[in-house]
């Protein structure tokens, strides 16, 4: 029995260290490859007010849309493909669908429609897919991928007809979708009027910020990713601590507190103040990349802080985590990454995924 | 005494009795010929040997019955039928319209089977009848399948084998659909029936006599 | 050995053995973490990890003894993809815990006690919907020992609720089915099941609670039931034996563990755990479902919590989650089979179909098709 307990589900945390100026640096891959983000938070130590530049960046994260009961065959429509998929990066994720219970759908910016459907739906749907990687012996979930930009996916081809028949006549699947679009040359809101015949609502990302005082903060050494006892903390410890900070967890470990026994990893230093900002919504990777660039520029002028941190959480119920690697939900569906940006443009990148997930890129 | 009996008849007596007398050689030849005819299958020497010692029962020929291999040729064997391509439907006959009369016949058959199939008939009754019914000529649709490309196929069953339904679709294509891991739907008047193919893997003739058992679940 | 890079762990070398897979002199190190109760990150909150995998350049490939080789291999294969990438950044670590499969479908609680108090029943169902259950079975108990009585008619869910509560986080309403539990202490009690009694047929699920070993054997091997209840309020009166349980698994019958008594009372908890563990020794976590048997809304627990509770009953992570989701689905389908003709043909009236379809607001085309013919 105890053996069973020891066999707890797998989680992955990947940590790496590199420099933004390096050619082989993969920070762009990590950010752009993570399509569905619901929360972006950053922490700037020793900072009382947000620089104006950063403020305008987070203000301009762009709108996103919630469309109710959007039939899936709309995405297979060639008008849609020509307007949205071919002229920009289109992001869509079904809303309020749980990846471990319901059918879930998403459109990736690469023009792929991904359906994660349960066994019953798959057997009735009539579209070829693959069993989920995390299903073990009894397959209860299938992943159907339709490449909308494929050359053989033109109107009136056999493939297109079959998909259209499956999604329109055989099984008209409908979802509430979160939509966002990134395009350089077309106005987003005018293009979005394409969906105006459906119930559509416009949303803006929600920004909350606070200044933390007298914060215990682990000491980091740029070159020591795995930490040195008595000298600096490891990436893993920092990651743990950041979670505590972002969630307002009390790190004091008072004897009377029964909620948390967490305390700041040692060695630690006390920060007089730190600026924490959290943006929630359906946030596009392009915007996050933009924010990251500005956070790097934060160190252009000499600052007291040694580092800033940027954490991005992905949707727990999205069918993909990074790129097209399958994402699942066992007891938690986390897929998140964290950048620790040092003042010499070095960075630590930490990518974490839950149980039913591929290793991050 | 013996001499009197076995003596050859004198010519006068023979004439009186109207019998042709034979010389001793002739009579010998006659006997051997006679014996040979009466005892077929024995060689001459054997006959002679027997004559020396045994009484010969005349006119009891042990006719060896020629065992005629009685082939009960009702028709061709399945293998021969296959070789002659009797099971196959010629390409020019693979037309949906050709099978529509069969479908109408089948509908009539099911209605008769279910005593007229009124709207208030119990579905339970229909499903037990359908279990044993012949499905040739029924219009089926693949509702569910483990293999998604079969889903949505619809047509008239023209052949049923142990593992396969051969159906002709509306666009005149003959398709073979395995029964295993497939759910078919059949519509008759007001009723819709689902056939779970995995447990249906029997020839239609065997199925009518089979006693089914409750086992497993309807999950594919 | 170069595995001293523990993120925060104090390493105990004794628990480490070379993995049977025998990887190349390469990149993988496995070591145990100190169990950690106090992680706070959303990421680490689930961890309290005991073992971990790490890529270290120039390290060696080790495994923890108790791991199953197959699982180990799977988890490593997932990591191999990362392997190719490792070389790019200057340093890269991968922390990894054990691998776990989970087959998934909607959550169900197949045992909510029936009371004649409609209001209470309603509030239980509302709570269940709020907790995220998509399917709930209302349980009618027929105890022949107490009083010789007929089996009740099942309660009709549509009578109970003018509109069913909507499952939290979804737009679908909760699905309510009916279930009958027969408490059998005498072989004669099973006659109700054998004869095709019209009352039994009205229920979606039929469960049996055998009190003696003989009846348990009969329930596993021959009776036409979907669920077999395991006693949780007293010490199991008989030992579980392998043949009947294997037969039950073969036939697709599920064993039901009820968790409410173990929440209420510590003695009951002891019985529940001991009985459950003795069952798990035989059935290895297969064909087990967990349900509440709740009489009050407060006795219900969320599906993920129940799955965690399942660990106490000796289920593995994946099996525990299956016990509240996919196994319940299989049991429901097994019950549905009873309504068909030997699980082969299932007929229903067409206009009934269209009515249900309209309710579910699914296939429009199906209706169109039926109108054509």
Top residue of A124, A127, A143 to mutate, by most chain B CBs within 10 Å, is A124
Q: Give percent helix, percent strand, percent coil of chain C, each to the nearest 5.
A: 40, 20, 40
Give the containing element (helix H, strand E) for C230: none
The domains of chain B are located at 1-53, 95-209
Given a cut of 80, whether residue A117 has pLDDT beyond it is yes
Give the pLDDT band of residue B44 (cuts 50, 70, 90): confident
User: Is 70 exceeded by the pLDDT of residue B191?
Assistant: yes
Domain holding C312: CATH number?
3.20.20.140
**CB proximity A4 to C under 8 Å:** yes
Tell whether the model's pLDDT for residue A26 goes beyond 70.
Answer: yes
Q: Could you count the other beta carbons within 10 Å of the beta carbon of residue B162?
A: 12
Q: Is residue C356 part of a domain?
A: no
Which of residues C71 and C108 earns the better pLDDT score? C108
pLDDT value of residue C50: 27
| pLDDT for the residue numbered C24 | 29
Residue whose entry in the numeric block shows the structure tokens 């959290």:
A278
Dist. CA A39–CA C293, nearest whole Å: 39
- Residue from B147, B152, B183 to probe the interface with A (highest A Cβ count within 10 Å): B152
Which of A120, A126, A129 is closest, CB to CB, to B151?
A126
Residues C148 and C276 both lie in one domain: yes
Query: What is the rounded distance in angstroms from the CA atom of residue A168 to the CA atom of residue B186?
Result: 22
Q: With cut-offs at 50, 70 and 90, classify the pLDDT of residue C35.
A: very low
Q: Are residues C107 and C27 in the same domain?
A: no
For residue C340, count other CB atoms closer than 10 A to its CB.
Answer: 23
Q: At residue B194, what are phi and psi to the nearest 5 degrees?
A: -110, 130
Higher-confidence residue of A265 and A361: namely A265
List chain A residues with CB under 8 Å of C79. Answer: 359
pLDDT the model gives residue C166: 73
Flag if C40 and A240 touch (Cβ within 8 Å): yes
What total number of domains does chain C contain?
2
Rounded distance, CA A126 to CA B143, Å? 9
pLDDT, one tens digit per residue, over A135-160 is 777 788 888 998 888 888 888 888 88
Which pLDDT value is given to residue B70?
Answer: 65
Q: Which of A288-292, B41-45, C94-98, C349-353 has the lowest mean pLDDT?
A: C94-98
Query: Closest partner residue to B190 among C338, C344, C349, by Cβ?
Result: C349
| C92 confidence band (pLDDT: 50, 70, 90) | very low
**What does the pLDDT read at residue A9?**
64
Q: Is C87 left (phi over 0), alpha (psi -120 to 50) or beta?
A: alpha
- Give the span between the Cα atoms of B214 and C181, in whole angstroms: 20
Has residue C196 been placed in a domain?
yes
- The whole-number pLDDT of residue C169 equals 64
**Domain extent at residue C10:** 1-32
Those residues with Cβ within 8 angstroms of residue A181's Cβ, 6 or more apart along the chain or in another chain? A84, A88, A89, A90, A91, A188, A191, A192
Looking at the predicted structure, is the pLDDT value of residue B189 above 60? yes
Q: Which of C44-48, C89-93, C182-186 has the lowest mean pLDDT?
A: C44-48
- Interface partners of C (3+ CB pairs, < 8 Å)? A, B
Is C19 in the same domain as C113? no
Residue C193: pLDDT over 80: no
C39/A334 touch (CB, cutoff 8 Å), yes or no = no
Contacts of B219 (CB under 8 A, 6+ apart): C330, C333
| Sequence ranges of the domains in chain A | 9-62+205-353, 64-203
Q: Is 80 exceeded by the pLDDT of residue A254? A: no
Q: How confident is the model at residue C348 (pLDDT cuts 50, 70, 90)?
A: low
Task: Check: pTM over 0.80? Answer yes or no.
Answer: no
Instruction: Say if CB C141 and CB C183 are below 8 A apart.
Output: yes
Strands B154-160 and B164-169: antiparallel
Q: How confident is the model at residue B57 (pLDDT cuts 50, 70, 90)?
A: low
- Report the distance separating Cα A121 and Cα A235, nearest Å: 42
**In this predicted model, which residue has the larger pLDDT, C36 or A134?**
A134
Query: Closest approach of chain B CAs to the CA of C346, in angstroms?
Result: 5
Least CB–CB distance from C345: residue in B131, B214, B215: B131
pLDDT at residue number C145: 66
Looking at residues A177-183, what average pLDDT do you find?
85
**Does the beta-carbon distance from A101 to C107 stay under 8 Å?**
yes
Strand (E) or helix (H) holding A71: strand A64-71
All residues of chain A having their beta carbon less than 8 Å from the beta carbon of residue C311 are 4-5
Q: What is the pLDDT at residue A7?
A: 56
Q: Where does the pLDDT of residue A128 fall: very low under 50, low under 70, confident under 90, or very high at 90 and above?
A: confident
**Does C266 score more than 60 pLDDT?**
yes
Q: What is the pLDDT of residues A311-329, one digit of tens each?
A: 888 888 888 888 888 887 7
* Residue partners of C193: CB distance under 8 A and separation at least 6: C182, C200, C206, C208, C223, C224, C225
Q: Is residue C60 part of a domain?
A: no
Cα separation, A44 vs A242, in Å, equals: 12
pLDDT, one tens digit per residue, over A213-245 is 888 888 888 877 777 777 888 887 888 788 878
Q: Please say if the pLDDT value at position A171 is more than 80.
A: yes
Q: In terms of CATH architecture, what is B95-209?
A: Roll (2.30)
Q: Encode pLDDT of A5-15 as tens digits.
A: 555 566 777 78
Distances (CA, A) of C23 to A35, C54, C76, C228: 34, 14, 10, 45
Q: In whole numbers, what is the pLDDT of chain C averaged over residues?
A: 63
DSSP state letters, C287-313 = TEEEE--BSSGGG---HHHHHHHHHHT
Least trusted range by pLDDT, from A164-173, C88-97, C301-310: C88-97
Q: pLDDT at residue B24 above 70?
A: yes
d(CA B186, CA B133): 12
Asked if the peptide bond before residue A267 counts as cis, ω within 30 degrees of 0, the response is yes
Give the tokens for residue A227: 């930490």
- Measure CA of the first residue to CA of the last residue in chain C; give whole Å: 75
Give residue A89's pLDDT band: very low, low, confident or very high (50, 70, 90). Answer: confident
Residue A23: is it exposed, middle or buried by C-beta count within 10 angstroms (0-12/13-18/19+)?
Answer: exposed
Residues C162 and C306 in one domain: yes
């Amino acid at each position: 029995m105890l053996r069973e307990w020891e066999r707890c589900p797998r989680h992955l945390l990947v940590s790496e260290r590199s420099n933004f100026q390096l050619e082989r640096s993969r920070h762009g891959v990590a950010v752009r490859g993570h399509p569905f983000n619901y929360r972006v938070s950053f922490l700037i130590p020793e900072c009382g007010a947000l620089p104006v530049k950063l403020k305008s960046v987070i203000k301009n994260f762009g709108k996103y849309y919630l469309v109710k009961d959007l039939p899936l065959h709309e995405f297979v429509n060639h008008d849609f493909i020509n307007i949205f998929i071919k002229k920009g990066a289109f992001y869509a994720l079904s809303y309020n669908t749980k990846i471990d219970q319901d059918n879930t759908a998403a459109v990736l910016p690469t023009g792929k429609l991904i359906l994660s459907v349960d066994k019953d739906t798959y057997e009735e749907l009539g579209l070829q897919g693959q069993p989920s990687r995390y299903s073990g012996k009894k397959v209860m979930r299938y992943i159907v991928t339709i490449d909308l930009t494929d050359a053989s996916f033109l109107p009136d081809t056999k493939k297109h007809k079959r998909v259209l028949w499956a999604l329109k006549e055989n099984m008209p699947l409908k979802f509430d979708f979160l939509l966002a679009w990134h395009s350089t040359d077309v106005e987003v809101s005018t293009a979005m009027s394409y969906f105006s015949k459906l119930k559509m609502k416009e949303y803006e990302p929600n920004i909350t910020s606070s200044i933390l005082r007298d914060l215990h903060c682990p000491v980091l050494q740029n070159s020591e990713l795995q930490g040195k006892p008595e000298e600096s903390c490891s990436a893993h410890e920092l990651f743990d601590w950041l979670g505590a900070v972002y969630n307002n967890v009390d790190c004091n470990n008072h004897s009377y507190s029964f909620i948390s026994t967490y305390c700041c990893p040692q060695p630690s230093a006390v920060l007089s103040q730190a600026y924490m900002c959290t943006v929630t919504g359906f946030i596009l990777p392009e915007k996050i990349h933009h924010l990251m660039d500005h956070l790097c520029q934060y160190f252009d002028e000499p600052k007291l802080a040694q580092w800033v941190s940027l954490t991005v959480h992905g949707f727990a119920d999205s069918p993909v985590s990074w790129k097209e690697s399958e994402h699942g939900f066992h007891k938690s569906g986390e897929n998140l990454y964290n950048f620790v940006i040092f003042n010499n443009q070095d960075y630590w990148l930490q990518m974490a995924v839950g149980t039913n997930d591929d290793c991050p890129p | 005494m013996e001499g009197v009996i076995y003596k050859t008849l004198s010519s006068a007596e023979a004439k009186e009795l109207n019998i042709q007398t034979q010389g001793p050689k002739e009579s010998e030849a006659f006997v051997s010929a006679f014996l040979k005819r009466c005892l077929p299958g024995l060689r001459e020497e054997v006959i002679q040997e027997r004559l020396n010692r045994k009484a010969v029962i005349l006119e009891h020929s042990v006719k060896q019955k020629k065992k005629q291999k009685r082939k009960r040729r009702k028709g061709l064997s399945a293998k021969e039928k296959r070789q002659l391509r009797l099971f196959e439907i010629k390409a020019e006959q693979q037309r949906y319209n050709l099978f529509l009369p069969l479908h109408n016949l089948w509908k009539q058959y099911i209605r008769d089977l279910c005593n007229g199939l009124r709207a208030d008939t119990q579905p339970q009754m229909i499903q037990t009848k359908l279990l044993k019914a012949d499905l040739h000529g029924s219009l089926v649709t693949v509702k569910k399948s483990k293999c998604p490309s079969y889903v949505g196929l619809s047509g008239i069953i023209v052949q049923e084998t142990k593992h396969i339904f051969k159906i002709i679709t509306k666009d005149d294509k003959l398709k073979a659909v395995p029964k295993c891991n497939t759910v078919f739907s059949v519509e008759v008047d007001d009723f819709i029936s689902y056939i779970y193919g995995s447990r249906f893997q029997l020839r239609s003739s065997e199925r009518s006599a089979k006693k089914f058992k409750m086992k497993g679940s309807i999950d594919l | 050995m170069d595995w001293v890079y523990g993120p925060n762990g104090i390493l105990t070398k004794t628990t480490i053995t070379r993995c049977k897979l025998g990887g190349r002199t390469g990149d993988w190190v496995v070591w145990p973490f100190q169990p950690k109760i106090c992680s706070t990150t959303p990421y680490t909150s689930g961890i309290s990890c005991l073992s971990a995998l790490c890529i270290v350049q120039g390290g060696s490939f080790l495994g923890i003894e108790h791991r199953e080789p197959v699982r180990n291999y799977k988890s490593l294969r997932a990591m191999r993809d990362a392997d190719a990438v490792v070389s790019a950044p200057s340093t890269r670590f991968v922390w990894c815990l054990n691998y776990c499969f989970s087959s998934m479908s909607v959550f169900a609680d197949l045992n909510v006690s029936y009371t004649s108090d409609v209001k209470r029943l309603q509030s239980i169902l509302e709570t269940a919907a709020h907790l995220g259950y998509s399917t709930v079975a209302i349980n009618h108990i027929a105890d022949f020992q107490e009083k010789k009585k007929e089996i009740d008619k099942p309660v009709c869910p549509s009578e109970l609720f003018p509109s069913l509560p909507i499952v939290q986080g979804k737009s679908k309403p909760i699905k309510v089915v009916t279930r009958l539990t027969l408490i059998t202490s005498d072989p004669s009690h099973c006659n109700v099941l054998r004869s095709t009694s019209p009352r039994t047929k009205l229920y979606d699920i039929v469960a049996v609670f055998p009190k003696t070993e003989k009846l348990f054997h009969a329930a596993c091997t021959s009776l036409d039931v979907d669920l077999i209840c395991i006693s949780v309020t007293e010490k199991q009166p008989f030992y579980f034996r392998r043949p009947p349980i294997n037969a039950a698994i073969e036939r697709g019958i599920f064993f039901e563990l009820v968790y409410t008594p173990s929440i209420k009372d510590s003695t009951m908890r002891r019985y529940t755990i001991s009985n459950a563990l003795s069952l798990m020794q035989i059935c290895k976590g297969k064909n087990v479902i967990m349900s509440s048997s709740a009489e009050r809304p407060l006795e219900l627990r969320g599906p993920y919590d129940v799955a965690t509770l399942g660990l106490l009953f000796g289920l593995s992570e994946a099996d525990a989650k299956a016990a509240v989701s996919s196994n319940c689905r299989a049991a429901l389908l097994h019950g549905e089979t009873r309504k068909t003709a030997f699980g082969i043909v299932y007929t229903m009236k067409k206009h009934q179909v269209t009515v249900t379809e309209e309710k579910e607001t699914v296939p429009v085309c199906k209706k169109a098709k039926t109108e054509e013919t």
